[in-house]
Amino acid sequence: MATPKALILRAPGTNCDRETAFAFEAAGGAAERVHLNRLLDQPQLAEGFQILCLPGGFSYGDDIAAGRIVGSLIRHHLDEVLREFVDAGKLVLGICNGFQILLKSGILLPDAADGHAPATLAWNESQRFIDRWVHLKTNGDKCVFLKEIEKMYLPVAHAEGRFVARCSDTLKSLDQSGQLSLRYTDAAGGEAAYPDCPNGAQLGVAGACDATGRVFGLMPHPERYLEPTHHPRWTRGEAGEVGDGLKIFQNAVQYFA
Ligand SMILES: NC(=O)CC[C@H](N)C(=O)O
C-alpha cells in the first residue's frame, strides 16, 4: 500500500504539531498539518488520510477546560466525519492536549445513555503544571499503537492530566475491557505514587483506548523521545539506541502495511 498519511490537526494554541509530523515521517509515514478551520470548512479532507492525530499544546488557551473548545467543535461539526473515519478501520491518536480533546469530544469514549462522559482529565492533584519524565507500562494488547511495547520512559508536561472515571463501576468496566492500556509506574515497574504518577490519575492511567483499540489517547509525549539525544541523561549512556516514543508512530504506520 502507498505510504500511510497522517493528518495532524492543529488549532490556535497547538504547539507540538511540527514535532508530531516529524515523528510520523521518522516512522516511515507521511504527514500534513491541517488547521481545524480548514477541516471544519472541508470535512471531506479527512478521507485522504489513514491516521488522524491531535497533537499537544494549549488549544484555545485551555480556556474553560483543556481540550473543551476543540472537543465541542468536534462534537457539533465533525462527529459524523470522525465516526466514519474510525468505522473505516483508520487510526486516531491524541497526545496530551489531543487526549484531552478526544475525551471531551466523546470520540474516544462515547457518552453514556444519560449524556454524560464516562471519564475526563481533571486538574493534577497538585494543582500545578508538571513537567518531568515518567516510567510507563502497557496493560493488555488491545491498543494497536502499543503493540510489542512493554514499558517506556517519556516526558509529561501538563496541568490537566488526572484521569478520572465517572464512577467506580465505569472505571472497573473500562479496566476489564482492557481500555486503560497505559499506566504510570515507579522506576522499578511497580505501582506509582506521586511524583512517579504525576497527576493522581485513578489506577495510574496515563493512556486509554476505545473499544476497537484504534483510537488512543495518552498524556505523555512520545514525539519528544524519538532519538537517543532526547533522553535527559543520554550523555551518561542511559538512552537506548532509539527513543521509546518512536515505536508508537511505527506501530501506527505499519498497521497499514
Ligand atoms: N503538553 C500539552 O499538550 C499541554 C497539555 C494541557 N494544555 C495542559 O496543560 O493540561
In tens, the pLDDT along 2-27 reads: 999 999 999 999 999 999 999 999 99
pLDDT tens digits, 70-104: 999 999 999 999 999 999 999 999 999 999 999 99
What is the domain range of residue 195?
5-254
This prediction's pTM: 0.98
Q: Which three cell numbers stand for residue 184?
A: 504510570
> Could you give the CA distance from residue 146 to residue 247 in angstroms, rounded to a whole number?
8
- 3-class state of residue 31 by DSSP: strand
220 pLDDT higher than 80? yes
**Distance between alpha carbon 48 and the CA centroid of its chain, in Å?**
22
H/E run at residue 135: strand 130-138
Helix 17-26 vs helix 246-254: crossing angle, to nearest 10: 60
How many domains does the chain contain in total? Answer: 1
Q: Is 230 a catalytic residue?
A: no
d(CA 233, CA 215): 32
Decide: 94 and 221 in contact? Cβ < 8 Å. no
In the prediction, which pLDDT does 241 show?
96
The alpha carbon torsion through 78, 124, 132, 240 (nearest 10 deg) reads -60
CB-based burial of residue 65 (10 Å sphere; 0-12 exposed, 13-18 middle, 19+ buried)?
middle
Q: What is the DSSP letter of 68?
A: H
Atom of ligand 1 nearest to the CA of 58: 7
Residue 118 confidence class, pLDDT cut points 50, 70, 90: very high
Burial of 19 (0-12, 13-18, 19+ CB in 10 A): middle
Ligand 1 centroid from CA 28, angstroms: 27
Quickly state the pLDDT bin for 133 (edges 50, 70, 90).
very high
pLDDT (mean) for 42-54: 98
Q: Kindly indicate the confidence band of residue 229, based on its pLDDT and cuts at 50, 70 and 90.
A: very high
Active-site option among 16, 53, 96, 209: 96
Quote the ligand 1 centre to 99 CA distance (angstroms).
Answer: 9
Ligand 1 centroid to residue 2 C-alpha, Å: 33
Whether the per-residue pLDDT at 1 is higher than 90: the answer is no
Mean pLDDT of 112-131: 96
Annotation marks residue 221 as catalytic: yes
pLDDT at 248: 98
CATH number at residue 223: 3.40.50.880
Going from the Cα of 1 to the center of ligand 1, the distance in angstroms, rounded, reads 35
Give percent of the chain with pLDDT exceeding 70. 100
* CA nearest ligand 1 atom 7, residue: 58
Q: Average model confidence (pLDDT) for the chain?
A: 97
Q: Is the pLDDT of residue 183 over 90?
A: yes
Residues with CB under 6 A from ligand 1: 56-58, 62, 66, 96-97, 129, 157-161
